[in-house]
Structure 1
């Protein structure tokens, strides 16, 4: 009788074509057990992208993430309220400088912090949506997460 070899608890030592859905779920369960349900919910999308490329390149014959949904992983995420303290905002400047990011990326971080917009809203912004005279930026409904138009005020009123 041939014995099945022991599989490692993580997939880092495995060849991509030997990774099964059970291996992916084991990794996701470990992440969730560490208290990172949000990360566990996001990982399948990243892994799906990786295995999608592996399929195109014929590195794997099948995507082991197929069928994995949030309800199987971290489940429903709770709404979070996160507020940066003044000290954290002051520290952000030094951290961004040390992060070796492009200036445009650093500027984007500051714009998002100042306007409370999301990266997708910022990257899809068009000059026509910004009225400097009125001091407003209109985010169209089809660019916002909740599918509602938003007016961002760019100066104090």
Structure 2
């Protein structure tokens, strides 16, 4: 974080906010090229005061790190749960690497508000909830199959 202090100051974000966002990016992205894109989605959602809906925050809150998060678990009451509470969680949910810190400071601008990560590492970005729902319905079973293999 020390290497990025000037950028943090310029961003007008507190270091813990950058670290918290970077931790979510770290857990969400499987591929380096997705880190700035996922960061951009989070920034778009923050600007609109939307919930961030990040599965890793639910896993961290529940201290249950299994592959798949179930719908009923999204209601778990914790200030870390970004499905339940808007904005960033109260602190980091993982230890982010340098690339995630960079992505938290330099999000890729886009019109996307949603993303869906497939078990194969592909991330599908969408602009509307309707588009996102179609993607989830199309690929949801992949995670169930992946969980059975794990």
Structure with the bigger RCO (C-alpha within 8 Å, sep 6+) is 2
| Short-chain TM bin | under 0.3
- TM-score normalised to the size of structure 2? 0.21
- TM-score of the aligned structures, taking structure 1 as reference length: 0.21
Q: Which has the higher helix share?
A: 2
